[in-house]
Chains A and B, each alone.
Chain A
Amino acid sequence: MPAILPSLKRAAVRDTEPPLRLVVGLNRVDEIVHEGWNTRINLPTRAAASEIQRKCQNVVGLLSKATKISSSQIEYYSAIKRYRLHELLGQMIRHCYAGFKLADVEPLAFEDLEGVDPEARQFAKEEWRRRIGRRRPEISSGDKDRLFAELSRVLGAEDLQRIGEELAVELREPPRIAVLGQAGVGKTTTVNALFATEWRTSAVEVGTRAVNSKSVRLPSGGQINVFDLPGYGRSIADDARYEQIYRDTIPSCDLILLIIQADRGDLADDLEMITRIRDWIREAPNRHRTRQAPGGGSQHTIPSDKTMGEGS
């Protein structure tokens, strides 16, 4: 009986922890089966497609031992074949910790595109209005005032003021995405394919030794900051060298894009990394933004991004 108690306690702690904002990208699905790619239509063959599904389930099953993860958090793609990159980007935005920063961005409207014939444009406009336009909740200014009055009654005017300032600062900072994975799984290749960066990649040796970062404007509007981290698992010495980089970068990010290579089976390094990230986040639950938090900024609770993110 006493042996059960610690494990129960651990399980209880795990359940109260906020889930890690994680999207798993399964790269190189074109290599999962030999000759499993139809180059004419740039799609996997039927046999390869079923293997990809099995692989996704397998990866989710293994990763769920280290953190809470569902099958909606995994996306398969191939950076080299330019396959399903849009879906990957969509997943990243959907699961982003700070998705609310992108929530009020108007998506790229089909009717604004050039070279679309007027009839189709009209049809798209009506469809959009019918399907999406109606769903947007309208908040009148009266509601907003009442909400703020209620908040200042509960929190006190001073605190509300401070929260408002913090929020304003926070809103100016675009969501931060950390691209993480073992050495050589194609992190930089993926970022290059997604955001048209031209960072150096390498076939055999290590390409990325420090953090590459870039602020990217999405084609659908909105802005995100991408941090391309050096890969782990290359050697014990390299991992020790990069540990500080990970510690500095990852806990302050809004989303971790964990890239896994589809034709590989070793997940021990990834599981170890996830466990360590959870430890770091547990140590410092409030992400501090070293760049703009003047003295003791991390002491204040930034309005819970978790709850705000869920709405979007």
Chain B
Amino acid sequence: MAPGRLQRRRFEGRARTLHDLSCRRRVLDFMRSPVPSAAHDRRDRALNSQNTLVIMERCGDAARSQLAAGDPVAFQAPVWQHTNVREEPVRGGAMGLASRLVRACRQPKNRLNLLYRPTASDRTVVFLGKRGVGKSSTVNRLFALSFATDPAVECTRKPNQHRLFLADGTFYRVVDMPGIAANLDSDRRYVRYYRHWLGRADVIVWITQADVRAYKQDERFFLTYTPAVHPATRLVLGISKIDTQVHYKGPVSRVTLAADTILQRKISDVRGQIASHSWVTPERVPVVAYSVARDWNIDVLYETITIPQPVG
């Protein structure tokens, strides 16, 4: 079935409880409410108490007070839809929207397509790192996608792309790159991808694995490709699988002192070995340690990547 004409549609949803909002991140991504400027300042407090608070922060003050008063919050989101798509019976509420969106995004293009329309405020996030550090898993968890992952064999052999419409009203283009240093000739094979995407990136998320301390290939990559990167591009360092180093037994606030020491040493090691070869001053590079499997610090990573940047 060939896709038909595109039509701009408006999705409308209703959230009755906080739970409705916290169920699917994708719902949040479709809520066009401005991000409070102090949101990330209050992030730590929010993380320590509960996940939902972070979500509340992102909803905006109006939505929050409305929900607290017990009124359902209505939200709208513009999407583009092919006109020859058969309408499905709509389940009500945020859950209905969420499930439909998630299902639709996993389908081939002819069902529901969020189209990328280039504007000045678009941001491109490129995920990079050695082979097997968990780039695809991270992207999947951050943006509720379902790129193929594999614990044993390399499976991302060309860049995975996805377009998202986030809560702060900007389009995000998420690019999950094939890993570097898989074998001797793989980097040569992927050169054209790196050339293409590095120059277009607004944020580069460089992921390294917590139980790895060999950074020669990362260093070599930075030496080769730093000229291709725009100097204003942000660099975020992610330390994945941190649960293999720090034996994590609960929320962040309850990490023991010994574990925290290891964590701090790891962060400074990564900053010194990787960020020092980049185009950014090492002290200004945010380093986030997280674990996809244990769902630890994913929100901090998300906030760090999507943080609104001052213009100019």
Contact = CB atoms under 8 A, between A and B. Distances in A.
Given A31-B211, A272-B184, A265 B154 contact: yes
Nearest to A63: B183
Interface string A260-274: 010111111101100
B96 to A, nearest CB: 31
B213 A206 contact: yes
B161 interface: no
Contacts of A183: 213-214
Contacts of A71: none
Contacts of A236: 216, 219-220
Kindly list the 10 A-B residue pairs having the minimum CB-CB distance in the complex, ordered from nearest: A265-B132, A233-B214, A265-B131, A184-B213, A34-B293, A268-B181, A266-B181, A55-B152, A54-B152, A266-B130
B182 A268 contact: yes
B144 to A, nearest CB: 19
A135 interface: no
A151 to B, nearest CB: 45
A231 B245 CA distance: 19
A232 interface: yes
Given A31-B244, A205-B213, A234-B216, A266 B180 contact: yes
Given A51-B152, A236-B219, A65 B184 contact: yes
Contacts of A190: none
Given A183-B214, A184-B211, A233-B217, A269 B181 contact: yes
Contacts of B273: 234-235
A275 B241 CA distance: 31
Contacts of B262: 203-204
Contacts of A238: 216
Given A51-B151, A265-B130, 15 more contacts: A31-B241, A33-B151, A52-B152, A55-B151, A55-B152, A55-B153, A65-B184, A184-B213, A204-B265, A232-B216, A234-B215, A265-B182, A266-B130, A268-B181, A269-B214
A203 B263 CA distance: 10
Nearest to A262: B152
B278 interface: no
Contacts of B217: 233, 266, 268-269
Contacts of A234: 213-216, 273
Interface residues of A, number: 41
A11 interface: no
B199 to A, nearest CB: 24
Interface string B169-184: 0000000000111111
Question: Quick one: which of A31, A231, A235, A239 has the most chain B CB within 10 A?
Answer: A235
Interface of B: 130-133, 151-154, 179-184, 186-187, 209, 211-217, 219-220, 241, 244-245, 262, 265-266, 269, 273, 293
Given A51-B151, A54-B152, A205-B269, A266 B213 contact: no
Interface string A5-42: 00000000000000000000000100111110000000
A149 B75 CA distance: 98
A35 B214 CA distance: 25
A205 B273 CA distance: 11
A264 B132 contact: yes
Nearest to B131: A265
Contacts of B241: 31, 263
Interface string A138-149: 000000000000
B213 A271 contact: no
A58 B153 contact: yes
29 contacts: A31-B211, A33-B151, A54-B152, A54-B153, A55-B151, A55-B153, A58-B153, A62-B183, A184-B213, A203-B245, A205-B269, A231-B214, A232-B214, A234-B216, A234-B273, A236-B219, A238-B216, A239-B216, A263-B209, A263-B211, A263-B244, A265-B154, A266-B131, A266-B217, A267-B182, A268-B182, A268-B186, A268-B187, A272-B184
